[in-house]
């Protein structure tokens, strides 16, 4: 697991990513990472398609749709992973044991109360019957940023169920294809965090498949200087 200090992170991100226009995701319901899949059969039907997993953000819209650059996105839309920066506010915090986290909650009520995005992992575009056992695997390949990252759910009895924990814990978990699930997202340090998520599974016709993409989180809202490194701030509505 690679970690880059807060001092070098803006430069590292600027060097490792193309210069893009990135918008700020500050609230509302959205899934990211979300993954679709283009099969070999799909490509035969439409040669303009590219076979493999399609990582993206998925916003279902409506009154609880994502808030991007201060605007509620009520129309269903999708965004490339590098088009959005997920903002985690300084006042949205929680504590597990002796560790404090800047926090995106797993419940919509808590997310709204803390004025942060209600972020899920979206696999609804995958058909369970297309994948062996109806299961795919999510893996955190890399965390570029200060401190540690943790992904967990409350167990309903005052404890937690860890799915990913960069401080010596699990780095991958199995999840049912076709599902949509919410978790607690926690970061121990202020700064910008790049999380590279991989999805893998065995397609019943196409065989073993793998895909990955990096999603950017900022604690708190990025400075003007950092936004300059990531690209000029603008809203990009790339819809599928």
- Cα distance between residue 76 and residue 66, in whole Å: 9
pTM above 0.75, yes or no: yes
- Cα distance between residue 171 and residue 12, in whole Å: 23
Q: How many CA atoms lie within 13 A of 176 on its CB side?
A: 6
Pick from 97-101, 154-158, 233-237: least confident: 233-237
Show the CA angle centred on residue 194, arms to residues 108 and 174, nearest 5°: 60
> If DSSP states are collapsed to H, E and C, what string results for 70-137?
CEECCCCEEECHHHEEEECCCCCEEEECCEEEEEECCCHHHHHHCCCCEEEEECCCCCHHHEHHHEEE
Residue 233, pLDDT above cutoff 80: no
Q: What is the pLDDT of residues 5-64, one digit of tens each?
A: 443 444 344 434 433 468 999 999 999 999 999 999 999 999 999 999 999 999 999 999
Q: Please state whether beta strands 184-187 and 149-154 pair in parallel, antiparallel, or not at all (unpaired).
A: antiparallel
Matching residue, tokens 């965090």: 193
Q: What tokens appear for 206 in the block?
A: 């196409």
Q: What is the pLDDT of residues 77-124, one digit of tens each?
A: 999 999 999 999 999 999 999 999 999 999 999 999 999 999 999 999
Contact 175, 136 (CB under 8 A): yes
Contact 178, 112 (CB under 8 A): no
Q: What would you report as the CA-atom Rg of the chain, rounded to the nearest whole angstrom? A: 17
Q: What is the pLDDT of residue 234?
A: 36
Long-range contacts (CB closer than 8 Å, 24 or more residues apart) made by 158-165: 160/96, 160/184, 163/138, 164/140
Q: How confident is the model at residue 226 (pLDDT cuts 50, 70, 90)?
A: low
- What average pLDDT does the structure give for the chain? 88
Average pLDDT over residues 138-157: 97
Contact 137, 176 (CB under 8 A): no
3-state secondary structure of 207: strand
- 228 or 178, greater pLDDT: 178
């Amino acid at each position: 697991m690679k970690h880059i200090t807060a001092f070098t992170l803006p430069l590292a991100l600027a060097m490792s990513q193309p210069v893009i226009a990135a918008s700020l995701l500050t609230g509302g319901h959205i899934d990211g990472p979300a993954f679709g899949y283009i099969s070999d059969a799909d490509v035969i039907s439409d040669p303009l398609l590219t076979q493999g997993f399609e990582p993206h953000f998925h916003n279902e819209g409506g009154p609880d749709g994502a808030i991007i650059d201060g605007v509620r996105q009520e129309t269903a839309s999708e965004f490339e992973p590098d088009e959005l920066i997920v903002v985690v506010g300084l006042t949205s915090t929680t504590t597990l044991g002796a560790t404090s986290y800047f926090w995106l909650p797993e419940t919509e009520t808590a997310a709204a109360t803390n004025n942060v995005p209600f972020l899920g992992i979206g696999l609804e575009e995958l058909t369970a019957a297309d994948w062996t056992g109806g299961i795919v695997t999510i893996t955190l390949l890399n965390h570029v940023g200060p401190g540690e990252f943790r992904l967990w759910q409350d167990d309903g009895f005052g404890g937690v169920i860890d799915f990913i924990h960069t401080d010596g814990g699990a780095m991958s978990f199995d999840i049912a294809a076709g599902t949509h699930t919410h978790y607690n997202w926690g970061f121990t340090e202020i700064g910008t965090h790049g999380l590279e998520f991989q999805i893998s599974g065995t397609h019943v016709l196409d065989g073993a498949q793998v895909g990955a993409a990096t999603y950017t989180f900022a604690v708190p809202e990025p400075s003007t200087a950092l936004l300059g490194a990531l690209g000029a701030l603008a809203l990009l509505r790339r819809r599928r």
